[in-house]
Structure 1
Amino acid sequence: MLFENKVVLVTGGSSGLGFAIAEAFASQGAKLVITGRRQPQLDEAVKSLGENASAVCADISNLGDLTQLFSHISGVHGHIDVLIANAGTGEIEPLGAITEAGFDRLFTTNVKGTTFTVQGALPLMGKGSSVVVIGSTASINPGPGLSVYGATKAALRSLVRSWVLDIKGSGVRINLLSPGPVDTPSLRNVLGENAQEVIDALSEKSTLGRIGQAYEIGQAALFLASDASSYVNGAELFADGGASQV
């Protein structure tokens, strides 16, 4: 699973799972391009990722930003070997309190943004390239308040299953990586004062007795993007300690 001189784009790569995934590819020699919406955060991430990393400030829900992103990559690198379509957002809104604004934010970023990220990257990807779309176990077990978020991630599963047929014969693989709960600052911020209590409860559901660590998702992404999974296409890998299987 070496990526020496491979051009790897990680959207939403400046923090959380995206940054952990970017770190995994950096450790294997990739030429990294990360995106995010906040330039200062991107600058800090690039410093940590090393000299082979660069950043482009872009919001995947903005098609103009995506056009500029792919134009930049085309001019600098000429192609993309791996796309990690990670950028996304989440909100807790239970039925009865779902807002139009919240609904639109989730679908615009998670579904529309991911769709046009993949579509925009494909002309720069050739035979042997790989797309990994980051989903979530919320697509099959969303939990209270996560119906809309879970629906956006379920939509990604449907998209991937169709896309592999749309690009049949291209030599580009597309797979879905769906993490379970992972101990990140963003998760703890969403959970608020009850964070540890909820994490303990989620740990009980896992057959490993714990929730995930961000670096473990990075390792799973390396596998799906690499030649080690060369015959894996259109699949969904659940990285959740077995919670979705029991």
Structure 2
Amino acid sequence: MDDLSGKIALVTGGGSGIGLASAKMFADQGAQVIITGRRKDVVDQALEHIGRGAIGIIGDVADVSHHETIAHELMRSFGGLDIYMANAGVNTINHSSQVSEAEYEAQFAVNTRGVFFGVQKLAPVMRNGGSVIITGSIASDRYMEGHAVYAGSKAAILAFARCWAVELKARRIRVNVISPGPVDTPILDKLGLPPEARALLEKNVSEAIPLGRLGTPDELGNAALFLASDASSFITGINLRVDGGMSLL
């Protein structure tokens, strides 16, 4: 049921973490995978990991012309798109009183603007029966310290997804959101914490998760694969929380 043979799949932010794990799983199931990212070295390394003829495109999802270019290339090279995973995202942890305009604009530019215009420009080249998967966050509907702006940027895309699930229903394009809880990805490394502080952070976070640990990129990739495949053919407009039960508390 997870077979994606003959499908064309695009994953933004596919160079690491959840995006990379998802892209690898799509490719392993037979899809022609295209990933995007801002850094060529990261994208090139990811392509080696994915293998199976994966293609990389360098660009910034906050730039509308980037999506227009991708749409043109997809039509020229493949005649369309079947799976679109809008995964690229950024997060700056800061108390609301300390958030700068630059931090605010950067998060909404990628997390919200990038998703909206990505779907706007790519939906027209998607084939009927396609699947749109958006990476959200459990921060959108529960309090997480220092995440106010990030939470707001992710809450907006939940509203987008509900609208798109209805707007695209005539073409049988399904639109769903995956909301990860804490996941052990390279984002943790970017916090710049010394090893002992990171270990303490992971311990404290794990204690707030009913399953007692952080998630893995592959676990999120499995959820994305489910929503990309015919195994979820009667599912649209949902917010799938992949969080070890954290949103229950």
Rounded to whole Å, the distance in 2 between the matches of 1:74 and 1:92 is 38
The equivalences for 1:121-160 within 5 A come to 121-160=122-161
Residue range with higher mean Cα deviation, 51-60 or 185-194: 185-194
CA drift at 1:162: 1.4
Number of positions where the alignment pairs a residue of Structure 1 with one of Structure 2: 246
Rounded to whole Å, the distance in 2 between the matches of 1:228 and 1:191 is 40
Aligned to 2:46: 45
Aligned to 2:234: 231
Rounded to whole Å, the distance in 1 between the matches of 2:230 and 2:248 is 26
The equivalences for 1:90-109 within 5 A come to 90-109=91-110
Matched, 1:241 2:240: no
* Aligned pair partner of 1:217 in 208, 216, 220: 220
CA drift at 1:17: 1.4
CA drift at 1:39: 1.1
Rounded to whole Å, the distance in 2 between the matches of 1:51 and 1:220 is 21
Is residue 14–residue 87 contact of structure 2 (8 Å, CA) maintained in 1? yes
Is residue 67–residue 122 contact of structure 2 (8 Å, CA) maintained in 1? no
Rounded to whole Å, the distance in 1 between the matches of 2:163 and 2:130 is 18
Give RMSD over aligned pairs: 1.2
Is residue 27–residue 52 contact of structure 2 (8 Å, CA) maintained in 1? no
Percent sequence identity is 39
What amino acid maps onto 1:6 in structure 2? K
Aligned to 2:210: 207
TM-score normalised by structure 1 residue count: 0.96
Is residue 30–residue 52 contact of structure 1 (8 Å, CA) maintained in 2? no
CA drift at 1:142: 4.0
Deviation readout 1:144-195 (Å, 9 max, x if unpaired): 1110001111111111111222223111000000010001121232262322
Long gaps (5+) in structure 2: none
Long gaps (5+) in structure 1: none
Deviation readout 1:14-39 (Å, 9 max, x if unpaired): 11211111111121111000000011
What amino acid maps onto 2:46 in structure 1? A
